[in-house]
Every structure is written in C-alpha cells, then in structure tokens.
Amino acid sequence: MNLPNKITISRIFLIPVFLIIMLYPFSWGEVTVWGVTLPVTHLIGALIFIIASTTDWIDGYYARKYDLVTNLGKFLDPLADKLLVSAALIVLVDLDLIYNLSWIAIVIISREFAVTGLRLVLAGEGEVVAANQLGKIKTWAQIIAISAMLLHNLPFEGIHFPFALIALWIALIFTVWSGMDYFMKNKTAFVNSK
C-alpha cells in the first residue's frame, strides 16, 4: 500500500478516536477561548476532526506529486471523507450543536449515500471515478462548517458573527449542487447499467 493510501486509512482510524472523545462523558472540564466557554472534549474533538480533515489534502498532494494515484485511492479517499463528515454530523445532532437544523445533516448524509451508491454502480461497469473539483469544494465547505460548529462558533477577534450557521448553509448548497452535478454527468452509465 502506498503512502497516500496509508494517510487515507489513518483518516478512517481517527474517526473512532474522534467519536470517543466527543461522546464519552469524560470530565475534563471546560475551557474559555475568545470569550466562548466549551468543554475540553469538544476542543480536542474539533482538533482531531481538523487534523483528520487535513489528511485529505495531504494524501491527494502526495498521490499527484509522486504519481501514486490508484483505483484503491480513488475509492478510499472519498469514502474516508464521507465517513468522517457523516460521523461528525451525527455527533453534532446528538450534542444539539447544529442549530436545530438536523434536516441539513440528513440531506448531506443522504447525498453522500446516493453518490456512493452511484460510484458502486459505476465500479460494476468498470469505471472508477475520482472526486471532481466541485466535490472537493463541497468537502471543504462541509469541513469548515463542521469545525466551526464543533468549536461552538468561536468569535473572530471578539466579534460574535454566525459564521458556523452561514458555513453550514454554504456546505448544504455545495452538497446538493455537487450531488446533482455528479448524477447528471454519470446519468448514462447509471441508466444503462444492468
């Protein structure tokens, strides 16, 4: 297994660590950052999520730079993204940190399942499709929104601004847009599959 794929696997292995930190009732107290008080577990969980998310850029960089792009990597990389984002969204709903907009989490996760299903149909036809630019923008929009919510929408330079909420709506728009784009570009293979 090459280095980019190992980095992708590490992202998958960080998901249970993230879940344990966020959901187990550790009594590590609270911390105040820029006037916002949040549990230490949420701060650590957010940092784990951010670190895991940055491995998405790192594995892609090494795969392209050293010509290590593989079909396994094309499959694992978006799968790791979907697992990480879905786990984080479910945690946000469970902890009531998603602004009573759990339906957005449902739409995002549903899109991820739908696109994964399409990928499986395409793989059955012998076609492995890597994420396109719009899909990458969608992923980063989701990561930014989730990070902001995990950090309880920490204010920027002491100014309270609903950044996390706005980022969540932007992530929703890119999620729906990229999903529609993915199905439109691959509708022939989907319709003609046996």
Residues forming beta bridges with residue 15, ordered by sequence position: none
Q: What is the CATH number of domain 3-192?
A: 1.20.120.1760
Predicted local distance difference test score (pLDDT) of residue 160: 67
Say if pTM beats, i.e. exceeds, 0.85: yes
Domain residue limits, the chain: 3-192
List, for residues 147-189, the tens digit of each pLDDT value. Answer: 999 998 865 555 567 889 999 999 999 999 999 999 898 877 6
**Helix H or strand E encompassing 33:** strand 30-33
Predicted local distance difference test score (pLDDT) of residue 41: 96
Q: Mean pLDDT check: name the lowest of 7-11, 17-21, 103-107.
A: 7-11
Predicted local distance difference test score (pLDDT) of residue 181: 92
List, for residues 123-149, the tens digit of each pLDDT value. Answer: 777 776 666 889 889 989 999 999 999
Predicted local distance difference test score (pLDDT) of residue 121: 81
Q: In Å, what is the CA distance from 102 to each residue of 60, 64, 144, 188, 190?
A: 31, 36, 17, 33, 30
Tell me how far apart the alpha carbons of residues 161 and 97 are, in angstroms, rounded to a whole number.
16
List, for residues 23-77, the tens digit of each pLDDT value. Answer: 999 999 999 887 788 999 999 999 999 999 999 889 888 888 888 888 788 778 8
List, for residues 16-28, the tens digit of each pLDDT value. Answer: 999 999 999 999 9
Q: Give the residue among 72, 91, 68, 73 at the shortest CA–CA distance from 17.
A: 91
Q: Residue type at 162?
A: P
Q: In Å, what is the CA distance from 155 to each residue of 136, 152, 167?
A: 26, 9, 14
Predicted local distance difference test score (pLDDT) of residue 47: 96
CB 193 within 8 A of CB 178: no
Q: Give the residue among 75, 170, 142 at the shortest CA–CA distance from 115.
A: 75
Contacts of 115 (CB under 8 A, 6+ apart): 78, 179, 182, 183
Whether pLDDT at 119 is above 70: yes
Predicted local distance difference test score (pLDDT) of residue 77: 85
